[in-house]
Amino acid sequence: MNSIINKINHWGYLSEQKISRFFISILVAVILIGIAMIYVAPDFEAAYHGALYAQLSEHPFNFILSNPIHYRILGPLIGYITFLRGDLFFLVPLIFGVLLLSAIYIHFRKINFSFIESMNMAAIIAFSCTILIPIRAPGYIDTITYYFIFLSFSRIRKPLQSTFFFGIAMFSHECSIFILPGLIAYQNYLNKINVFRITKNILFNIASCIPYLVYRYWVSLHTSVDYDFQFYFSSKNLKTNFLSILPLFIPGLFFTFKLFWIYPIWIMGKKIKSKNYGLVIVLLSIIIVVIAQLFIAFDVTRMLCLLFPAILISAKELKTKMEGNKFVIISSIIILINFVVPQYFASNESLVRLFHLSLK
């Protein structure tokens, strides 16, 4: 087994040298997306909110036509600029899905993960609802949000870059704000200071929200947007969400990452046992705050995909505890077994099955 793994890794290194790491990362991402599309049958016709994003991509700043998602301008603006508008808009989130997996691969290669280890880290995201829901629900801009959130976490040792990417993520979807406490806690953890300590970098992160708030105010001067603070925090919406998600929370949480939950559970268990609570607080600050979204949004599994940094951080930590090819073997087994578990997602009072391509 070790011989086969070493040969594949050697091939990956040579390929990166002969071609380029970026090209290999794109190739890996495309292959993973292709496998994901076999596991969960894709759709290429925007519907529901996807249709609203597609509509906005044709005229991003046309305030005459009311659009309930007008505050989430980044995706439609990218579609408009790249001429992937209207019926072609579904390609924009798909492209960002590839870019997200590519960025994950490149990041872990840069921190000395092997070719297969880096590919498996990307596969964790490719074969979870982080990617599976967007390929089944074309037009939704989730992958754009996740891409910039990942860049914010991966550049966390470069605070200005991290802050910049987080600020961009806010323009994609305001739900990004729920990952900010985890981002701040992780930044402090890596800097070996108390995770609750207020630093200038934290103030930068908070300040990065200001451009988006200014944009929201500017839009509100020109048109009314249905999905605003008043809508989400209305007593009717809060009550509806509570009644909808209560019976679906546990299955919705599980099916977001299925067996990949092993990583944070494993790491938190080991850290608690050794009374080393720093990373546990970081992971809980991501998990608990992201779950808090469900008080105002009933799309359970889709909302919880924002937890993906906790899964990657945990898997990264686990790898550092293992020698040789042990992580490759364990992570590969988890990925393979994960395929056996049927894929569902929880939304709006029901569990929905995501069928394989051959069963669609």
Q: In this predicted model, what pLDDT tens digit does every residue of 227-253 receive, in sequence order? A: 877 878 888 878 877 777 778 889 999
Lookup: tokens for 6? 């070493």
* Nearest CA-CA partner of 120 in 179, 35, 39: 35
- List pLDDT tens digits, range 15-36: 999 999 999 999 999 999 999 9
- How confident is the model over 79-108, as a mean pLDDT? 96
Query: Which tokens belong to 301?
Result: 């599994």
pLDDT in tens, 275-328: 888 999 999 999 999 999 988 888 889 999 999 999 999 999 999 888 888 999
Is the pLDDT confidence value at 359 over 70?
Answer: no
Tokens coding 294: 């469900």
C-alpha distances in Å from residue 200, one per residue of 168, 169, 231: 20, 20, 33
The mean pLDDT value for 73-101 works out to: 96
Tell me, what's the pLDDT at 358? 61
**Residue 344, beta-bridge partner list:** 353
Spatial distance between the Cα atoms of 337 and 297, rounded to a whole number of angstroms: 31
Quickly state the pLDDT bin for 224 (edges 50, 70, 90): confident
Q: Does the pLDDT at position 350 exceed 90?
A: no
Confidence of residue 10 (pLDDT cuts 50, 70, 90): confident
Is pLDDT larger for residue 192 or for residue 358? 192
pLDDT tens sequence across 138-192: 999 999 999 999 999 999 999 999 999 999 999 999 999 999 999 999 999 998 8
Burial of 273 (0-12, 13-18, 19+ CB in 10 A): exposed
Instruction: Give the whole-number percent of the chain exceeding pLDDT 70.
Output: 99
Q: What is the pLDDT of residue 360?
A: 52
